[in-house]
């Protein structure tokens, strides 16, 4: 499964999302990263949160990236694939990180986990 992925996607999926900058997300170019940061999406987990808020609807997320953030169709496709795959890898325990204490914490960086009720 990992063999069919780009090196950048493989690298992103192999580690905890933590505090990674949004530029780590596969498909996010330097220009798109600047646009996303300007809109407040400076971390990968914040972009993942937007994808989850859209109920993992790839078409809707891609439209949002293209229309609101200036992504190309290619960037939008790559980014949505990356964010769609990340929770699957998290569930399969492929990442080296201690288990979260609640389900809602699994998408948050460790610095924010203490704030989750």
Domains of the chain: 15-88 (1.10.150.40)
Q: Higher-confidence residue: 17 or 31? A: 31
For residue 87, what pLDDT band results from cuts at 50, 70 and 90?
A: confident
3-state secondary structure of 80: helix
Q: How confident is the model at residue 74 (pLDDT cuts 50, 70, 90)?
A: very high
- Cα distances from 72 to residues 18, 21, 54, 68, in angstroms, run 26, 20, 19, 11
Question: CB under 8 Å to 36, separation ≥6 — which residues?
Answer: 22, 28, 42, 47, 69
Q: For residue 21, what are the β-bridge partners?
A: 43
Q: Round to whole Å and give the CA distance between 1 and 90.
A: 15
The number of beta carbons lying within 10 Å of the beta carbon of residue 47 is 25
* Cα distances (angstroms) measured from residue 18 to each of 8, 15, 44, 63: 17, 9, 8, 26
Q: With contact defined as beta carbons under 8 Å apart, do 69 and 50 qualify?
A: no
pTM more than 0.75: no
Q: Is pLDDT of 101 > 70?
A: no
Which residue did the predictor score with more confidence, 37 or 92? Answer: 37
């Amino acid at each position: 499964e990992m063999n069919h992925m780009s090196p950048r996607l493989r690298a992103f999926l192999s580690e905890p999302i933590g505090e990674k900058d949004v530029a780590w997300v596969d498909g996010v170019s330097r220009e798109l990263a600047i646009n996303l940061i300007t809109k407040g999406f400076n971390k990968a987990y914040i972009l993942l949160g937007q994808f989850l808020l859209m109920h993992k609807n790839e078409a809707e997320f891609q439209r949002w990236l293209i229309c609101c953030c200036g992504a190309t169709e290619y960037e939008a496709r790559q980014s949505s694939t990356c964010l769609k795959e990340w929770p699957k890898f998290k569930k399969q325990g492929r990442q080296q990180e201690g288990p979260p204490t609640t389900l809602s914490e699994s998408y948050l960086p460790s610095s924010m986990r203490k704030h989750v009720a």
